[in-house]
């Protein structure tokens, strides 16, 4: 059997197709302003890569910020539960998950594979991928490189504000004062790490900790976070796909709960069509 998880994030869309035991294939592409509508095309790409037909997928779960109104998904589950499940598959001993996504940042507590508590940042870009993008643009370096650059710092700059707009101004001010880009970036990463730490600490950071989401690809942020937490954290081989993997794992679990006949009917009803937006009609894949 094949189970698919589709994670439509604010910045990146991910698809994982898995069998009962292993990840069969995964696809990672930018979401973009209009590309959420093209999630079905991405599913076609994943199917092609996996050498499967749409009809071969037994159950599909959508997650992430764009999970609602996906006509080809059987159900939607929040990314909070999906990250938890995905990480739990990689690291069953993890009790705290820190997910640094494109537009939000989450702390998730796990106990025996069950979601017990969570916390999310609130209407603020600090501690998100978007913040890193803004800062790298301001400093004229690529976002993929800022982590490595920050590691070369010997004297991290003090950045007092973590409001995205003001931090950008402050970074430019430091630059004009002659502070090196390495030190500015190291200061920025420290500041974000402190902010993420204090948010997640509200639900009590317990060992073992896993870091996930696109933000963790930044080695500078990862190092700053581990320093702040006080011990090393585990990171999955591809931190971008834990949500989609978790969705595929939930798909596998839900298939076990429904009978074969219903499954076949569901598969026939599914349409590999464009995702619609709120109030645009089809609402398949809603909870319940």
Partner 1 sequence: MTGEKKNKGLARAAEIYQSRDKRARELKADGKKVFGYFCCYPPVELMTALDILPFRIMGDMDEPITVADAYLPTIMCIFYRSCFDIAKKGRYDFFDGFIGAHACDGAERVSHIWRYYIKSPCSFFLDIPHTSHSAAIDFFKVQLNYFKETLEEFMGKKTSPERLKEAVSLHNRQRALVRDLYDLRKSDPPLITGSETLQVLISLMCVPVEEGNTILEEVIEEVKERKELPEKKACRLLIWGSLIDNTAFTDLIESSGLNVVIEDTAIGTRPFWHDVELTEDPMDGLALHYLKEFRCPRTFRETGPSYREDLESRFGYLKEFVKDWNVNGAYLNIIRNCDIHGYEVPAVRDYLEGLGLPVLVIEQDYSTAALEPLRTRFQAFAESIG
Q: Which residues bind partner 1 (CB under 8 A)?
A: 65, 77-81, 114-118, 120, 122-123, 278, 287-288
Q: What is the DSSP letter of 234?
A: B
Nearest approach, Cβ of 8 to partner 1 (angstroms)? 13
Nearest approach, Cβ of 142 to partner 1 (angstroms)? 30
CA–CA separation, 157 vs 222, rounded Å? 18
Are the C-beta atoms of 65 and 230 separated by less than 8 Å?
A: no
Nearest approach, Cβ of 67 to partner 1 (angstroms)? 9
Looking at the Cβ atoms of 124 and 263, the one nearer to partner 1 is 124
- Pairing between β-strand 2-8 and β-strand 12-18 as defined by DSSP bridges: antiparallel
Q: Is 254 helix (H, G, I), strand (E, B) or coil?
A: helix
Residues with Cβ within 8 Å of 57's Cβ and at least 6 positions away in sequence, in order, are 2, 3, 4, 17, 47, 267
Q: Give the DSSP H/E element, type plus range, for residue 226.
A: helix 219-229
Whole-number Cα distances in Å, 15 to 69, 87, 138, 185, 211: 16, 16, 32, 32, 19
Looking at the Cβ atoms of 4 and 82, the one nearer to partner 1 is 82
Beta bridge mates, 120: 106
Nearest approach, Cβ of 277 to partner 1 (angstroms)? 12
Looking at the Cβ atoms of 78 and 218, the one nearer to partner 1 is 78
Looking at the Cβ atoms of 141 and 203, the one nearer to partner 1 is 203
Nearest approach, Cβ of 118 to partner 1 (angstroms)? 6
Looking at the Cβ atoms of 78 and 153, the one nearer to partner 1 is 78
């Amino acid at each position: 059997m094949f189970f698919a998880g589709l994670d439509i994030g604010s910045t990146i869309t991910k698809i994982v197709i898995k069998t009962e035991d292993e990840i069969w294939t995964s696809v990672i592409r930018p979401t973009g302003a209009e590309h959420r509508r093209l999630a079905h095309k991405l599913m076609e790409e994943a199917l092609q890569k996996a050498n499967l037909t749409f009809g071969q997928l037994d159950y599909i779960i959508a997650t992430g910020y764009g999970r609602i109104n996906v006509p080809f998904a059987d159900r939607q589950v929040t990314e909070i539960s999906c990250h938890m499940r995905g990480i739990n598959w990689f690291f069953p001993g993890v009790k705290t998950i820190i997910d640094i996504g494109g537009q939000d940042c989450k702390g998730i507590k796990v106990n025996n594979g069950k979601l017990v508590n969570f916390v999310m940042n609130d209407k603020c870009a600090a501690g998100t991928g978007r913040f890193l993008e803004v800062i790298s643009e301001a400093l004229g370096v690529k976002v993929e490189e800022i982590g490595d650059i920050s590691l070369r710092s010997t004297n991290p700059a003090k950045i007092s504000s973590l409001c995205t707009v003001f931090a950008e101004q402050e970074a430019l001010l430091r630059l004009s004062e002659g502070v090196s880009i390495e030190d500015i970036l190291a200061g920025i990463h420290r500041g974000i790490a402190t902010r993420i730490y204090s948010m997640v600490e509200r639900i009590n950071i317990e060992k073992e900790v896993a870091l996930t989401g696109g933000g963790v690809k930044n080695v500078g942020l990862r190092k700053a976070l581990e320093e702040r937490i006080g011990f090393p954290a585990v990171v999955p081989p591809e931190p971008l796909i834990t949500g989609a993997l978790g969705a595929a794992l939930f798909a596998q679990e839900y298939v076990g709960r429904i009978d074969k006949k219903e499954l076949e009917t569901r598969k026939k009803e599914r349409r590999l069509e464009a995702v619609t937006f709120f109030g645009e009609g089809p609402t398949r894949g809603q909870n319940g």
